[in-house]
């Protein structure tokens, strides 16, 4: 698998990443082992997890598999901290919480460092400089090699990167930012993507298949074994089952028919090759689904198909992004 630099750093990652959101919950150890081995044998390196996935079980499971199945040195381990199971707060970006969470992640993973450590979300109740100091301490102590953020909007990303550039003695710069991005969700193109390009920060799209909808499996009904049929996950899928999404999925399916490939391959190839994107994070439920995603490695979409998909999925950006001169 092709390896790409993450932003303007020396860190190279596989251009498809493996997500572990369901590990320790709906994905058991057997399926996780099959996926990790399939991913590794295909040349994949970037494995993304978080301290809250499965209440820590995803990290623990990944650590066990690295211990006996796939060599730690062959993987780029990315994890996140900051989300907390508190309905009144939900995010804790304090230095104390973040560093304690990192230590706990390392213990579960059975390693002395992670390759990439993300702040899971912006915390409006903690000074941003305190949160960023935790990133710097993680790198200077050797517990993280590179750092990033997740779910930061454009101004938050730009403010964080600018503070790092201006603060004396800061040893780390943001390498990546993780955001939902797909043909069904192009909101990051308004501010996050331009900021990432300008600042040299690599984009790691989550839900690159539109929460599974872009595979086409929901076109006629909801499969009984899908997330859309799961009581817990159905609200996650439902926003992408409207008329707008249907038009986009139909266009993806038409393109796939013309290329003699699958809708999954078309949607994943489109997002993989967008500006600033380093690696879409694919959250497969089993090795068969993962193998289908990894098959996109040999596919490059023709320019005319990319333009057609761009047009049918174009987000509406008005003032102040467009049409300001006519107001």
Q: What residue segments make up the domains of the chain, in order of their start?
A: 3-213+263-301
**pLDDT at residue 326, rounded to an integer:** 47
pLDDT tens for each residue of the chain, 327 residues long:
999 999 999 999 999 999 999 999 889 999 999 999 999 999 999 999 999 999 999 999 999 999 889 999 999 999 999 999 888 889 999 999 999 999 999 999 999 999 999 999 999 999 999 999 999 999 999 999 999 999 999 999 999 999 999 988 888 999 999 999 999 999 999 999 999 999 999 999 999 999 999 999 878 767 666 666 576 667 778 888 899 999 999 999 999 999 999 999 999 999 999 999 999 999 998 999 999 999 999 999 999 999 999 999 999 877 776 655 444
Measured between alpha carbons, how far is 311 from 309 in angstroms, rounded to an integer?
5
Class at the top of the CATH hierarchy for domain 3-213+263-301 = alpha beta
CA 33 vs CA 45, 47, 50, 235: distances in Å: 15, 13, 18, 28
> For residue 191, how far is the Cα from the chain centroid?
17
Annotated active-site residue 53? The verdict is: yes
Residue of 15, 3, 9, 10 whose CA lies nearest to 294: 15
**pLDDT at residue 218, rounded to an integer:** 79
Tell me whether strands 12-14 and 3-5 are parallel, antiparallel or unpaired: antiparallel
**pLDDT at residue 327, rounded to an integer:** 45
Token representation of residue 55? 């209440």
């Amino acid at each position: 698998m092709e390896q790409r630099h993450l932003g303007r750093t020396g860190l190279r990652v596989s251009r498809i990443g493996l997500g572990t959101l369901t590990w320790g919950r709906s994905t058991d150890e057997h399926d996780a082992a099959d996926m990790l081995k399939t991913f590794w044998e295909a040349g994949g390196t970037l494995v993304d997890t978080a301290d809250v996935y499965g209440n820590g079980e995803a990290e623990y499971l990944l650590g066990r598999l690295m211990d006996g199945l796939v060599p730690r040195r062959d993987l780029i381990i990315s994890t996140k901290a900051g989300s907390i199971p508190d309905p009144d707060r939900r995010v804790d970006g304090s230095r104390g919480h973040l560093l304690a969470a990192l230590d706990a992640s390392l213990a579960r993973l059975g390693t002395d460092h992670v390759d990439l450590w993300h702040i899971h979300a912006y915390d409006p109740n903690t000074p941003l400089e305190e949160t960023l100091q935790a990133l710097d301490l993680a790198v200077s102590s050797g517990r993280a090699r590179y750092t990033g953020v997740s779910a930061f909007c454009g101004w938050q990303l730009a403010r964080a990167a600018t503070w790092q550039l201006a603060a004396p003695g800061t040893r780390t710069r943001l390498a990546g930012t993780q955001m939902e991005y797909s043909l069904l969700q192009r909101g990051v193109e308004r501010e996050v993507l331009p900021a990432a390009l300008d600042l040299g920060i690599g984009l790691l799209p989550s839900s690159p298949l539109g929460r599974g909808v872009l595979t086409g499996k929901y076109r006629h009904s909801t499969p009984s074994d899908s997330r859309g049929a799961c009581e817990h996950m159905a609200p996650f899928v439902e926003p992408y089952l409207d008329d707008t999404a249907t038009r986009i999925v139909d266009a993806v399916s038409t393109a796939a028919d013309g290329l003699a490939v699958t809708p999954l391959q078309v949607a994943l190839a489109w997002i993989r090759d967008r500006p600033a994107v380093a690696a879409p994070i694919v959250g497969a439920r089993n090795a068969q689904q993962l193998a289908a995603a990894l098959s996109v490695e040999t596919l490059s979409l023709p320019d005319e198909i990319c333009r057609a998909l761009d047009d049918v999925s174009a987000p509406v950006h008005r003032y102040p992004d467009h049409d300001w001169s006519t107001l």
